[in-house]
Amino acid sequence: MEADFVIVGAGSAGCAMAWRLSGAGASVIVIEYGGSDAGPFIQMPAALSYPMNMKLYDWGFMTEPEPHLGGRRLVCPRGKVIGGSSSINGMVYVRGHARDYDHWAESGADGWAYADVLPYFRRMESWHDSGQGGDPSWRGTDGPLHVTRGPRNNPLHSAFVEAGRQAGYPVTQDYNGRQQEGFGPMEMTVWKGRRWSAANAYLKPALARDNCKVVRGLARRIVIEDGRATGVEIAQGSAIRTIRARREVIVAASAINSPKLLMLSGIGPAAHLAEHGIPVVADRPGVGRNLQDHLEVYYQFASRQPITLFKYWRLFWKGLIGAQWMLTGRGLGASNQFESAGFIRSRAGVDYPDIQYHFLPLAVRYDGKAAAEGHGFQVHTGPMRAQSRGAITLRSADPAEAPSIRFNYMSEEEDWIEFRTCLRLTREIFQQPAMQPFVRNEIQPGEALTTDDELDGFIREHAESAYHPCGTCRMGRADDPLAVVDPDCRVIGVEGLRVADSSIFPRITNGNLNGPSIMVGEKASDHILGLTPLAPANDEPWIHPDWQTAQR
């Protein structure tokens, strides 16, 4: 069992690399612990709350008790299935803001500025013009990843966007184009009514080639001989075997499992490895550090009118929607229902958006277990660039044991200030005339909560992860002691080994991370193959002309 390239993880970045590397003629083995993505719970967009809460498809990670969130342990779903988290996520497609990538480059990820990554976003996309406006010249049209928009038939979608406009914010027809800032349609990785995961977009076409295969197994450690990665040791039941790499080993196992695998292989903070009796191959103190996420709350309202998705909450309607989807690929089952969005700045002096809104015409939890009593709707919202940083560490040297996950949410005072601001700005938006025909009352936080202490208490009790972990194998310059990989995604201090997934993000990007993770896989493929990177783009993104003096 050997190939030119051995990729650990069939997730967003891993699938993209499997397709690109095998397409260049190299032989590829992808190691994946999870099983098949077949079945309606994964493939039907509206069923998204099921797979992320099923042990069959999810690693089932939990955080350590979060000290600044009342000691709560938060769920941290990661895909344990072909397609990885792209097979269990909410299918929301956000590239991130231009300034995010410029910050990457400024912090040592040379060659990863927005001008450098925009051509890769174009290369990977097949963007479909739905007649709702957009920036065609900023988008790709013939890539593997289909990007579409929902029908936005529910009047609440346009009311939400109009409320944003009435509150003084811009309207944007394409937050993935020139102008992210503002309110407008949301995009999703759905095609012909199916979840368009990285598995459907990349891996399945790659597996149609003779030179690409998936091997099922749990990656135990990277085999390193004389300072060079030569393979990956895996467990298949009680059997242990090694998959050998003739050229390189590429780790794409997620922001949780990638640092875990590096540490199990002797790459990480020397003192921490010594605690667990792991021989040190490369002392990289940054492995597992710099853990970031988006924290959010569900801001919920009761509806005056019976027009929300609550009427479809009964088992009878769910069955009917499922049957319609299975027979035709259409109807409510063909959308993730996140069809309107917003990106705003929290204050003057912030040059690009730092608050995101996902609007949903139903008041419900992400796990699908608690719908509001009766008709309601909500926005998922929270700050985009928290100051708090956490860490992934080993519990033991046992590869079968989950790592210790500490996000350390809300550990910085600035994060509390930003979150309070976010809640107050959100309340103001829903007080606009456009929402008055629909808002009966605020379910949560509730109109009575107005002071800093009251809002802090709500955040402490109700904030949830948006499931966007990243940053734990940070990319930077080779002489940066806390960088784990260089700008070519090579692990510093080990030959023949790269990491390419959301763990290499120097800082979290605006919005959902599936798009940027796939982009990393796309761009890393060119680095791995020794190709000249795509020529930088010179498109100029929109920045609010009065950002220094105005919040909107």
Catalytic residues: 468
Tokens 């967003």 found at: 12
Are the beta carbons of 250 and 219 closer than 8 angstroms? no
Residue 241 CA to chain centroid, in angstroms?
32
CB 62 within 8 A of CB 407: no
Q: Check whether 150 is labelled as a binding-site residue.
A: no
Q: Which of 42, 501, 11, 480 is nearest to 255 (CA)?
A: 501
Q: What is the DSSP letter of 235?
A: E
Q: Give phi and psi for 100, each to the nearest 5.
A: -60, -45
- CA atoms within 13 Å, Cβ hemisphere of 456: 12
Instruction: Give the max Cα distance, the chain.
Output: 70
- Which of helix, strand or coil describes residue 546? coil
89 in a known ligand binding site: yes
**Helix 12-23 and helix 514-529, axial crossing angle in degrees, nearest 10:** 30
**Token code pair at residue 121:** 């976003």
How many Cβ atoms sit within 10 Å of the Cβ of residue 526?
17
The whole-angstrom separation of Cα 15 and Cα 204 is 9
Measured in whole angstroms, the distance separating CA 508 from the mean position of its chain's CA atoms is 9
Report H helices in 173-314.
198, 204-207, 254-264, 270-275
Establish whether 519 is an annotated binding residue.
no
485 belongs to an annotated ligand binding site: no
Annotated binding-site residue? 290 = no
Q: Is 510 helix (H, G, I), strand (E, B) or coil?
A: coil
HSE (side-chain half, CA atoms, 13 Å) at 463: 28
Burial of 479 from C-beta contacts in 10 A (0-12 / 13-18 / 19+): exposed
DSSP 203: I
Interstrand relation of 145-149 and 75-76 (parallel, antiparallel or unpaired): unpaired
155: number of Cβ within 10 Å: 13
User: Could you tell me which of 188, 298, 222 has the C-alpha nearest to residue 473?
Assistant: 222
Element (H, E) at 530: none
Distance CA 192, CA 208 (A): 21
List, in sequence order, every beta strand (DSSP E) within 384-510. 391-393, 404-406, 439-444, 464-465, 497-499
Counted residue by residue, the chain has a size of 552
Residues in binding site for FAD: 81, 89-92
